Structure 1
Amino acid sequence: MGVYSEGFLEAVDAALADFEVEIRQLGAAASDAQILAAIERVVLALNSVSQGVAGGVIDTDEREQLCLFIDEVMTENGIEVGELAARHGVSRYAITDRWRRW
């Protein structure tokens, strides 16, 4: 893991915390559209952080950790990530790909 500025880390933490709250509020009964919108929001927020905050760029190792975090948050809140991904023609590990720039 690289050395990141405090501002970069705070921005990443804020994006992930917002995602966690949103997914918790949506829960397992959420529609695919609601879940995908939440994924899109967190990925776009992380894109913004990676491209705009001095003191950090999300690299390969961090990308894998972030994608795993997103998957785990959904799984912990009763969302069948593999089924969601399959319904949309992607693997569970590619669910962020259409928006991700990191």
Structure 2
Amino acid sequence: MLDYPQSGERFRGHETIAVQRGAHPADRYFTILRITGHANVWVSECVIAYDGSSLYLVSVMEFADQQVVHETQYFAGPFGTPAWRAALAEPMPGRTVEEA
């Protein structure tokens, strides 16, 4: 099962998910930033680039019997630092809004 909470879509079954992913009209490029997890739940943080823009992607994957049984993906666009908190923050190493 694959869920996109932001659009309310749910895709069931390996074949349906494969068709959904394979039918995307744009060339997509993924940069994996981090993968972390334990036992049956793993999370990946990525940047996905396509159609001249980039989005951050977080994917939560749940496993059973060494297979993904449920994946939930969240997509978010980059945003700049608001002036009110600029003095409190430091840049993340190797990351800027322009790179996202």
Same structural fold, with TM-score higher than 0.5 when normalized by the shorter chain: no
Instruction: Considering fraction of residues, name the structure with more strand.
Output: 2
Instruction: Considering fraction of residues, name the structure with more helix.
Output: 1
TM-score (norm. length: structure 1): 0.25
Structure possessing the higher radius of gyration over alpha carbons: 2
Higher relative contact order (CA closer than 8 Å, sequence separation 6+): 1
TM-score (norm. length: structure 2): 0.25
